[in-house]
Amino acid sequence: MVADVKSQYASEPFSYGKQEVYVIPNVSQALTWLEAHPQALDGIKRGIERETLRITPDGHLAMTGHPKALGSAFTHRWITTDFAESLLEFITPVDDDIEHMMSFLHDIHRHVAKNMGDERMWPLSMPCYIDSESHIELAQYGTSNPGRFKTLYREGLKNRYGALMQTISGVHYNFSLPMAFWQALEGVTDEMSGKEKISAGYFRLIRNYYRFGWVIPYLFGASPAICSSFIKGREVSIPFERLPNGMCYLPYATSLRMSDLGYTSKAQSNLGITFNNLNTYVEGLKRAIHTPSDEFSKIGVKVDGQYRQLNANVLQIENELYAPIRPKRVTGKGESPSDALLRGGIEYIEVRALDINPFSPIGVDDVQAHFLDLFLIWCALADAPEMSSDEITCTKLNWNRVILEGRKPGQTIGIGCDTAREPLNKVGNALFADLRRVAEVLDSNNSRHRYVQVCDELVECFDNPELTLSARTLAAMKEQGIGGFGKSLAEKYSQMMRSEPLSVLSEEELDAEGKASVIRQQKIEASDTQSFDDYIQENAGN
């Protein structure tokens, strides 16, 4: 980072490993620089990926295949599936305008709602009414080698972690800062010659995200309760309060999706992957996909002529790494994600800590998008001492504290492995004082003033936790039950989407993409020349 905008940590120091760090970083110099260079934020790019289960009108998991009217889940640009055949995933194109991105996502939902018969979209992160894991069909992508590869990867996930965990839904927010930002801040001239400095900047963002990203589940966690069916037959150490309707909850929880019950993997807890520089990050990732796992070897790879997983390594492929944030670059043909990073550096980051927002018909709203812009810019500006894998593990204590008891009166937050902590509301208010300055810069580039509005709205959540998404969600679930709450919203949103006109897309465009996706899949299937065994060995062999 350019010397005159480096931040210093301003509150009382405490020991953090072998170095001193502080609970609240002072980024005033960096913010002063930003206020003098507002044009550096022109052209922020974003994209959203939203997952949602298809359900029947009575709330049970849909047993039907991916709706044919939507085209090919394998090759459609905007409408695909994630783990299960019934788990839809919607993907917006890269966009430099939040309002347009949200409208695009709305149109995808409208189109799908009109083409899924009497089925609905489940509006919560945590599944309900799944009687048996045997009812969860893996996503199907046709007969081509790459299509079968995707399904087999999911077979491996099922055998390693269980199918039920894989039906948990979330929202991913993809974010990149404009080249003008890196040119002004780091003095780079272009993406390729400046890839090391740009990647270092994104890793700084990621380290700050690990230290302060607990603010996301605090504000936007929306899974404070689960259906008892989700933990049926499992040993659970969490002291749930239980209601007669089958609801299990914690009174101050924010995001059980992010807890050990949810989308996590204990098998990955000792990988030692750090976020200090590009080479060591990629080395750690590659080591994990080439290291045999004693636990997963017991599953077997190909047994009685049937594949059970791609391989028996700690990670089958790089995408198996569970993390609340990932550095990313668009891959070329036949290129792995890590090789793409080595080639061109970090292009964008993927935020993976958002629950489905049940109060939005599209699972996310513009308040969340505006906040994430502010927070991620702040993370890119604030100094971030390097982190060992042990220190990353320690930051997860903060996350777990917020995930399980974030709204608890007097809750405290620390940094790293030290026991010194600060009141959560104090840290949150201090953070938002900085975010408001970023908001004023962003609003100076347009006439909407939406960023400042979002800041002023969200900062109140730290002194009044009942305003958080988790508190509102829990109140509704206590009143209606999880199933009742989910079904009523699914029906409401279905009727809404079916009656609304499209706003930025046309039915002709959507229908054309659906048909084109089928043709693309057929061409891929017709071009296969390898045996599937050879294809797996080439793409996921040891």
pLDDT digits (tens, 9 = 90+) for 502-532: 999 999 999 999 999 999 999 999 999 999 9
Residue 9 has pLDDT above 80, yes or no: no
**How far is CA 480 from its chain centroid?**
28
**What's the pLDDT band for 447 if we cut at 50, 70, 90?**
confident
Percentage of residues of the chain with pLDDT beyond 90: 83
CA 383 – CA 7 distance, rounded (Å):
5
Selected residue with higher pLDDT from 417 and 256: 256
Mean pLDDT to the nearest integer, 38-59: 97
Q: Where are the extended beta strands (E) located within 406-465?
A: 412-414, 421-423
115-129 per-position pLDDT tens digit: 999 999 999 999 988
Mean pLDDT to the nearest integer, 10-34: 60
Residue whose pair of structure tokens reads 């777990």 in the numeric block: 400
Q: What is the pLDDT of residue 92?
A: 98
Q: What is the pLDDT of residue 122?
A: 98
CA 359 – CA 476 distance, rounded (Å):
11
**What's the pLDDT band for 262 if we cut at 50, 70, 90?**
low
Q: What is the pLDDT of residue 478?
A: 96
Percentage of residues of the chain with pLDDT beyond 70: 93
**What's the pLDDT band for 13 if we cut at 50, 70, 90?**
very low
What is the chain's Cα-based Rg?
Answer: 23
Q: What is the pLDDT of residue 458?
A: 98
Residue 10 has pLDDT above 90, yes or no: no
pLDDT, averaged across the chain: 92
Residue 449 has pLDDT above 50, yes or no: yes
CA 440 – CA 443 distance, rounded (Å):
5
60-108 per-position pLDDT tens digit: 999 999 999 999 999 999 999 999 999 999 999 999 999 999 999 999 9
399-431 per-position pLDDT tens digit: 999 999 999 999 999 866 666 788 999 999 999
CA 201 – CA 191 distance, rounded (Å):
13
User: DSSP characters for 49-104?
Assistant: EEEEEEE-TTSPBP-SPSPGGG--TTT-SSEEE-SBTTEEEEEPPPBS-HHHHHHH
Q: What is the pLDDT of residue 236?
A: 80
**What's the pLDDT band for 19 if we cut at 50, 70, 90?**
very low
39: enclosing H helix or E strand: none
Selected residue with higher pLDDT from 8 and 506: 506
β-bridge pairing 25-26 and 120-121: unpaired
Q: What is the pLDDT of residue 266?
A: 62
CA 382 – CA 204 distance, rounded (Å):
8
**What's the pLDDT band for 237 if we cut at 50, 70, 90?**
confident
Q: What is the pLDDT of residue 272?
A: 83
**What's the pLDDT band for 14 if we cut at 50, 70, 90?**
very low
Q: What is the pLDDT of residue 25?
A: 78
Q: What is the pLDDT of residue 446?
A: 83
> Quick check: 238 and 266 in contact, CB under 8 A?
no
Residue 472 has pLDDT above 60, yes or no: yes
CA 513 – CA 520 distance, rounded (Å):
10
Cα torsion 111, 114, 117, 121 to 10°: value is: 60
Residue 171 has pLDDT above 90, yes or no: yes
Residue 5 has pLDDT above 60, yes or no: no
149-169 per-position pLDDT tens digit: 999 999 999 999 999 999 999
CA 105 – CA 271 distance, rounded (Å):
35
Selected residue with higher pLDDT from 225 and 234: 225
Residue 6 has pLDDT above 50, yes or no: no
**CA angle in degrees (0–180, nearest 5) for 388-391-396:** 135
Record the pTM: 0.94
Find the range with the poorest average confidence among 20-34, 205-219, 272-286, 446-460: 20-34
Residue 214 has pLDDT above 70, yes or no: yes
Q: What is the pLDDT of residue 268?
A: 65
* C-beta neighbour count of 131 within 10 angstroms: 10
Mean pLDDT to the nearest integer, 305-310: 97
Q: What is the pLDDT of residue 116?
A: 97
Q: What is the pLDDT of residue 2?
A: 40
